[in-house]
Structure 1
Amino acid sequence: MEKFDWCVRTGATEELDVFTTQAQFGDGYKQVAGSGINSVRKSWSVICSGSKDEIAVVRSFLKAHVTASYWWVNPWGEQKLYRIKADSIRPNFINGNFVEIAFTFEQAFAP
């Protein structure tokens, strides 16, 4: 299984989705439980930057991993499986040879 090894810019943003099942009762009591064995799902919005040739390699990896999982060590130091969110790949040409590419990692639980 491949690993995402490129450096990402500082400022990566984590989003946690916690899936729950809830029951609200008339007396104000609320029952809350985790939903499923993977009830917490993480995603990370990140940016890589570099020369057009360097970022072309990153872009190719991103496109290939919308449907295939890969390993990535997030800023917390946790190595987890991720996939690229399908509609998140956004290259930005700063000048003729310098490119920033923004994208989102979504946690995966199987290859």
Structure 2
Amino acid sequence: MADVFTWAPTVANASGNATLRTRTAQFGDGYAQKAADGINGRSSTFSLQFIGDAAKITAILAFLDAHAGATSFLWTPPLREQLLFTCEAYTEPTKDGNVYTMTATFNQSFAIS
């Protein structure tokens, strides 16, 4: 079973994108026919921001480093069910007083690796 990412991102500066994969057959008269591509034709990517004290941000960094960008983990995006993701890129934390800020990019995956 995959580990679960439990930390909540901030609402500000968080965004997500969904990509729907299709195949297109282009015909000579300008007509095109499209069809969904595969059983996992929809994939999501989220850019997330986390703000917190040193303990919270250190725990997030440890979780992401332990998964090394290659091992999938479970996370629940807004208005969706729990899905598998990997995180291959995140920013190093910045400090403002006793508060740290970092961002991470979560890419949906379809198999536990």
Q: Matched residues in 1 for 2:36 and 2:30: separation?
A: 20
| TM-score, with structure 1 as normaliser | 0.88
Following superposition, the deviation at residue 96 of structure 1 comes to 4.7
Aligned AA (1:74): P
Instruction: Report the 3-state secondary structure (helix = DSSP H, G, I; strand = E; otherwise coil) of the residue aligned with 2:47.
Output: strand
Is 2:58 the partner of 1:68? no
Paired residues in the alignment total 109
Q: 2:86 aligns with which of 76, 83, 86?
A: 83
**Do the aligned residues in 2 keep the contact of 1:23 with 1:30 (CA within 8 Å)?**
yes
Match of 1:32 among 31, 34, 40: 34
Q: Percent identity?
A: 33
SS in structure 1 of the partner of residue 96 of structure 2: coil
> 2: distance between equivalents of 1:7 and 1:20?
32
1:99 is aligned to 2:93 = no
1:47 has 2:60 as partner: no
TM value normalised by structure 2: 0.87
AA aligned to 2:20 is V
- The one-letter amino acid of 2:96's match is N
Question: Residues 69-90 of structure 1: CA distance to partner in whole angstroms, max 9, x if unpaired?
Answer: 1111111142111111x2x210
Q: Give 1:41 shift.
A: 0.7
Q: Give the aligned partner of residue 10 of structure 2.
A: 9
Q: What is the rounded CA distance, in whole Å, between the counterparts of 2:91 and 2:9 in structure 1?
A: 14
Amino acid at match of 1:106: N
